[in-house]
Amino acid sequence: MTQLKIDLHSHTTCSDGSLTPEELVLRADNLQVNVLAITDHDTIDAIARAHKAIEKYKLRLRLISGVEISTSWHGQEIHIVGLKVDESCPQFKQRLAEQADTRRARAERYAKKLENCGVENPLAGASRYAKGGSISRVHFAKYLVERGYVASFDQAFSKYLGKNGKAYVAPGWISIEQAISWIRDAGGISVLAHPTRYDLTNKWVRKLVRYFAEHQGQAIEVGMARQSPNERIQIQQYANELNLTASVGSDFHFISRYSELGRDLKLPDSATPVWHDWPEAQLSQ
């Protein structure tokens, strides 16, 4: 049976991805991805540009408007993806602008702390990598590696940027329930992103999924990149228990041998796909 190739979690240079919106949709189409969601961190700036590129190059790719909202829960940064959001909604755009302000303020605090650690011009360096998009820890990490302060991304986070790092700045993100509400008000579907990829024990992952569901979250990422069958089955069990639909996403940021748009994103047979009633995800399209 023919199946569509679907990827509902990806990033561009509008947040911390390495490809522009135009480059991302061209790559997705070249890889025969049928349905793609762009889900940049706390911004929907890529969506209009991606639509224009699809029209300009007459691509067969079907684009889903998305976003990945940063939230805070029990001291952990948890990401909530919004799918099929109305990117023209003035209230939603204003709310994301407030998130951007929070992200910008955090970047400035990171820069101050890095300067105190002896790093020269960290904000300017990270801004160069952000290419006009919002500045994230990934951009600081790239700069730290470039200038030789650390040897790798992992070292950048362990020494400076991560929770136990010298320059760590706690995020001031909104709550999970606020993110769900924002997405709902924008006509979208809320998805708990990569639930098993946080620094949580299995007990706390279960608590997280339950909390998300109890606050009217709708779906959970079941199919992810670099995933064991057991991990996929476990997440689907959470979905079944709490009546959540199932999403898939590569969380694509840059070209590498470890992850690729649409690659090996599977759902168990017991899953109800989040796209089961979407016109964009029908084979007849």
Does residue 106 share a domain with residue 73?
no
Report the DSSP pairing between strands 35-38 and 76-83: unpaired
For residue range 20-48, what is the model confidence (pLDDT) as tens digits?
999 999 999 999 999 999 999 999 999 99
> Residue 275: which domain range?
6-89+175-281
What pTM was computed for the model? 0.92
Does residue 193 share a domain with residue 106?
no
The β-bridge partners of 78 are 71
Does residue 257 share a domain with residue 180?
yes
Does residue 207 share a domain with residue 69?
yes
Does residue 230 share a domain with residue 130?
no
Inter-residue contact 100 to 82 (CB < 8 Å)? no
**Once rounded to an integer, what is the mean pLDDT over residues 146-170?**
95
What's the first-to-final CA gap in the chain, in angstroms?
16
Closest CA to 263 of 18, 26, 31: 31
Of 138, 161, 184, which marks where a domain is finished? 161
- Given this model, what pLDDT does residue 76 score? 92
Backbone region of residue 264 per phi and psi (left: phi > 0; alpha: psi in -120 to 50; beta: other values): left
Does residue 256 share a domain with residue 152?
no
- Given this model, what pLDDT does residue 1 score? 40
> Percent of the chain having pLDDT more than 70?
99
